[in-house]
Amino acid sequence: MAISTALWSFALVVGLLTLTPGLDTALILRTSALGRRRRAWGVVLGIQTGTLLWGALTSLGVTALFTASHLAYTTLRWVGAAYLLWMGARMLRDTFRGLPSTATDDSALLPGADSFADGWRQGALTNLLNPKMGAFYVAVLPQFIPAGTSHFTMGLLLAAVHILIGLMWSAVLVAFARVLHARLRTPRARRLLDRLTGTVIAAFGFRLAFGD
């Protein structure tokens, strides 16, 4: 398989994966829709940082050892599920209590809430605590590394393709969320958005914990 063919084929696979609505989409849309663009881009780049690390670890063969260990995989799965359930429950709790969440407030209500660093941390943790991301890379990435090429270099190149597609799709989501922002100026609308997003995040956590 030629390098160019491998790159285009991998781009098709991860492109379809990126376009499929999921946890990343919910986080980016929700953060952007509240008008916190710096935090939204922090989430985006945090997610892509996680993608780069998964690609690098897979290229080095580290994640193969990780997925081969049932204990390591199960531990990370439960930690990731606990994190998502905590994040979703916290978001839901604050909306029902009528309090702004320190992790999800609008910047107009809480100065400093529009923090790039906080968004980056949230995005990176969400990605890195998802063992299915590592399992996907272990299963898929080696298939697109042509014989005779450096596994590490080619693996990073493939991960870069995934990141580029992710950044382009994220830019579309952020732009789309700007349209929603005008409709989310009332506290009631913001609470509804938080309840919807919190439910989605908690559902992903539940699925990660108890799914196959």
How confident is the model over 46-56, as pLDDT tens digits? 999 999 999 99
The verdict on residue 202 lying in a domain is no
Are 143 and 85 within 8 A, CB to CB? no
> 71-85, 93-107, 155-169: which has the minimum mean pLDDT?
93-107
Neighbours of 186 (CB within 10 A): 9
CA torsion, points 108, 127, 4, 172, in degrees to nearest 10?
Answer: -20
> What is the Cα–Cα distance from 175 to 184, expressed in whole angstroms?
15
Q: What pLDDT is recorded for position 66?
A: 66
Q: In terms of residues, how long is the chain?
A: 212
The verdict on residue 212 lying in a domain is no
The verdict on residue 89 lying in a domain is no
DSSP 3-state assignment of 35? coil
Are 173 and 29 within 8 A, CB to CB? yes
pTM beyond 0.85, yes or no: no
Q: What pLDDT is recorded for position 39?
A: 93
> What is the Cα–Cα distance from 124 to 118, expressed in whole angstroms?
10
The verdict on residue 34 lying in a domain is yes
Query: Residue 147: pLDDT band by 50, 70, 90 thresholds?
Result: confident
Query: Residue 108: pLDDT band by 50, 70, 90 thresholds?
Result: very low
Number of domains in the chain: 1
The verdict on residue 86 lying in a domain is no
Query: Residue 88: pLDDT band by 50, 70, 90 thresholds?
Result: confident
Query: Residue 106: pLDDT band by 50, 70, 90 thresholds?
Result: very low
The verdict on residue 53 lying in a domain is yes
Q: Which domain holds residue 132?
A: 3-81+102-185
> What is the Cα–Cα distance from 155 to 94, expressed in whole angstroms?
42
